[in-house]
Structure 1
Amino acid sequence: MMNHFRPMILGLAAMFSAYHILLGVYSLNLPASPAPIIVAMAVYAAASVASLWPTSPIRMPLGLAFFNVAVAGALPLIVGSQLDGASSSNGYATWYVAAVGTLLTITATRKRPLLAWIGTGFLIAHTVVWAGAGALGSMGVIGSAVWVAAAALLSRALAKAARDAQQFARAEREAARWQAAQEAHLFERQVRLTHTNRLALAMLQRIVRRGGVLDESQRQECRYLEAAIRDEIRGRRLLNDAVRDEVMTARRRGAIVTLLDEGAMDDLGGAELERVLNTLAEAISRTTADKIIVRTAADGSDTAVTVVGLRSPQPGTGSLSEDDTGDEVDLWLEIPRALAQTKQH
């Protein structure tokens, strides 16, 4: 918004600066010599143009701020040397007071308040020495100091408002991200609960009808059901209907299946995710391993899912020693994130 109004603000400041020069031109007949006054007006005009340049940054460069302080010190000395400070007929010939006040107000507005106050202090000191303390009000020095003070306070308030606005914007973005994450978690929980209810409802109703008395086959079905519910919690995005069917088939033949989704596939979706899961289902259907461990790969890896199938060695079937009871690797499969050839060992 400040950038939108900046041309108008610069235009008004330029009009004020030009007005002071016009007052100096109008009163050229009052100084002892007009030449120093013209030099003072030229220096002031150069400082004003540099300070109001449209493409300059909001914070005034330090070199330009020091130049403005030097101009604020030079103008009273140059113009005052051609006037009588004790005279009451100087009139508009003291145009430099308002000019210095305007230049230092611009300096304070552009976030150089300390240097603006240094220039104001010199103007006050010169006026007191040159014309007496009583001239501070009649020559407009107090008014110039008030403008500098107002500009410094306004600049500080605007800077604080800008910082607060940035903090509020960051807080709003964080709140929006948090709300989106919470909604996503809530939706996922609802989906998981709905699917779990569909899996367990029939068995729970059967348990209620039989009063909790189940035969061994029904107890085994409850174990399968418990494992399937655990898959929904720990497996998350490793599951689709094909994977669920193949995992249940493997468990019914006696295999131990573990699914671990650690979040590395959260960015996959659509056809890519279905490709990975269908490849996983096919791998589970082909293996005869006693233990199947499926887990997502580490973040940043080109692999989406790693599948390991282990088979317990049968006694007397070629072990390295009679005491060797380690599992044998029956399947090692890496399913890539991108569409590429699957690595299988």
Structure 2
Amino acid sequence: MSARLAGADGDTRTLLGLHTRTAWFIFGLNTVVNLALVVWCGDRLSPLWLPLVGWCLVVASGAALLLVGGDPLPVWASACIALSGPLAVVLTVPAISMDTYDPHAIWMTGPVTCVLAYLCVRGRSAFGWLGLTTMIGALVVWTWRVGMGPTAGLVLAGSNFAALGMATFFAYTIRPAAESIYALRSREAQRAADEAGAAAILDVRDRRIEQLDTDARPLLQRIADGAELTTDERIECRMLEAHLRDGLRGTVLAAEPVVTAARAARLRGVEVVLLDDGAIASVDSPQARAVRATLATELDAARDGRVTARVLPTGRERLGTVVADTGTGYRRLEFGPTGEVVSVLVDDE
């Protein structure tokens, strides 16, 4: 069973809790027990360092099972884990003295089978069965060579076939269920994101409606009543129209101190154009504040002509530009990724 689980976090380690402290505690406890078995049989093992190296291999394979990510488990890790059992057998049996033979010296069959069972659950059943059959094959060869007969090797570890069979069945049962769980989680996360996005859009709409009601209602009411607008009211209508246009076309730029500076510049006769093409994600970001501060300075300095500020699309080398064209001179500012001015071009005609 090697189907890849859905979702970025679709790893059976998460589903089975293999990444938790409890899993590491059980792993550590099992490691200590296995070491105790090796030490307990130490007077019947010579040289002792061979079984200790085998113990290290089993510990490393168990740790790899807990640490290595990916679903299914990467091939290289699966192959190393599958080989740990046979290698532990090959390293241990030469140290066993048949004069003082103790079945406990063949300690590795249990922990290795446990590791191989979880290897099946991690999506590498073929490697799990390869490791078990190879380990039992090595035991059969050893018992045959020392005169115990090949059947003795099967008796020592043959019962582990049932354990691995159950693990394989579990893998074919749990992995499709896990895939469904992670797919459902992904859909729920996407639905929550969509709902949050929709709520944000509605919130922006409500705030704009409230602002429009505050700013435009009095003038609209006078127009609806048929009253003759004064010169100041006509100017206010133009300022309001420009402000509303800024909010739609230059969202990130249409905030203080730019709003006040743009209004003052327009009252002086300067044409102000604000454009937002999306390179700045948030109105409250440090980049947005830095760009607005520089733009407000340019607007305060403008006495006539046209000032065009633009936030560029994402993926560009520059974050945005400000172009001030007075008719007799030209000034262009370019902003870097953090909102700082990185280029100033002045052309006085």
Shorter-normalised TM range? 0.5 to 0.7
**In 2, Cα distance between the equivalents of 1:275 and 1:184?**
26
Q: Which amino acid aligns with 2:107?
A: A
**How well do the aligned residues superpose, as a CA RMSD in angstroms?**
5.4
Moved more, 217-226 or 160-169: 160-169
The offset of 1:151, in angstroms, is 6.0
**Is the Cα–Cα contact under 8 Å of residues 260 and 294 in structure 1 kept in the other structure?**
yes
**In 2, Cα distance between the equivalents of 1:22 and 1:165?**
45
1:226–1:39 CA distance, 2 compared to 1 (3 A): same
Deviations 1:281-338 (A, max 9, x none): 2144x12x2x553323565656744124365xxxxxxxxxxxxxxxxx6443427533
Q: Which amino acid aligns with 1:260?
A: L
**Aligned residue for 2:7?**
none
The offset of 1:106, in angstroms, is 4.9
The offset of 1:237, in angstroms, is 2.9
**Is the Cα–Cα contact under 8 Å of residues 101 and 145 in structure 1 kept in the other structure?**
no
**Aligned residue for 2:322?**
306
**Is the Cα–Cα contact under 8 Å of residues 277 and 311 in structure 2 kept in the other structure?**
yes
1:343–1:108 CA distance, 2 compared to 1 (3 A): same
* SS state at 2:333 partner: strand
* SS state at 1:238 partner: coil
**Is the Cα–Cα contact under 8 Å of residues 72 and 123 in structure 1 kept in the other structure?**
yes
Instruction: Give yes or no for the alignment of 1:245 onto 2:244.
Output: no
**Aligned residue for 2:300?**
282
Match of 2:246 among 209, 231, 240: 231
Q: Which amino acid aligns with 2:333?
A: E
The offset of 1:234, in angstroms, is 0.7
Q: Which amino acid aligns with 2:259?
A: D
The offset of 1:123, in angstroms, is 6.6
**Aligned residue for 1:144?**
160
**In 2, Cα distance between the equivalents of 1:184 and 1:258?**
26
**Is the Cα–Cα contact under 8 Å of residues 295 and 322 in structure 2 kept in the other structure?**
no
Instruction: Give yes or no for the alignment of 1:101 onto 2:109.
Output: yes
1:178–1:277 CA distance, 2 compared to 1 (3 A): farther
**Is the Cα–Cα contact under 8 Å of residues 242 and 281 in structure 1 kept in the other structure?**
no
**In 1, Cα distance between the equivalents of 2:170 and 2:55?**
20
* SS state at 1:263 partner: coil
* SS state at 2:340 partner: coil
Equivalent positions of 1:53-72 (< 5 A) are 57-58=64-65, 62=79, 65-66=82-83, 68-72=85-89
Instruction: Give yes or no for the alignment of 1:9 onto 2:27.
Output: yes
* SS state at 2:286 partner: coil
* SS state at 1:99 partner: coil
1:23–1:220 CA distance, 2 compared to 1 (3 A): closer
Q: Which amino acid aligns with 1:122?
A: G
Match of 2:131 among 85, 98, 116: 116
Match of 1:268 among 271, 286, 289: 286
The offset of 1:69, in angstroms, is 0.9
The offset of 1:73, in angstroms, is 6.4
**In 1, Cα distance between the equivalents of 2:95 and 2:311?**
80
Q: Which runs of 5 or more residues in structure 1 are unaligned?
A: 26-36, 84-91, 312-328
The offset of 1:172, in angstroms, is 8.5
* SS state at 1:195 partner: helix
**Aligned residue for 2:340?**
338
**In 1, Cα distance between the equivalents of 2:260 and 2:88?**
83
* Structure ID, larger Rg: 1
**Is the Cα–Cα contact under 8 Å of residues 10 and 54 in structure 1 kept in the other structure?**
no
**Is the Cα–Cα contact under 8 Å of residues 302 and 338 in structure 1 kept in the other structure?**
no
**Is the Cα–Cα contact under 8 Å of residues 273 and 309 in structure 2 kept in the other structure?**
yes
Instruction: Give yes or no for the alignment of 1:52 onto 2:65.
Output: no
Instruction: Work out the number of aligned pairs and report it.
Output: 298
Greater relative contact order, per chain length (Cα 8 Å cut-off, separation 6+): 2
Q: Which runs of 5 or more residues in structure 2 are unaligned?
A: 1-16, 69-76, 120-126
**Aligned residue for 2:217?**
201
**Is the Cα–Cα contact under 8 Å of residues 105 and 151 in structure 1 kept in the other structure?**
no
**Aligned residue for 1:88?**
none
Q: TM-score, normalised by structure 2?
A: 0.58
Q: TM-score, normalised by structure 1?
A: 0.58
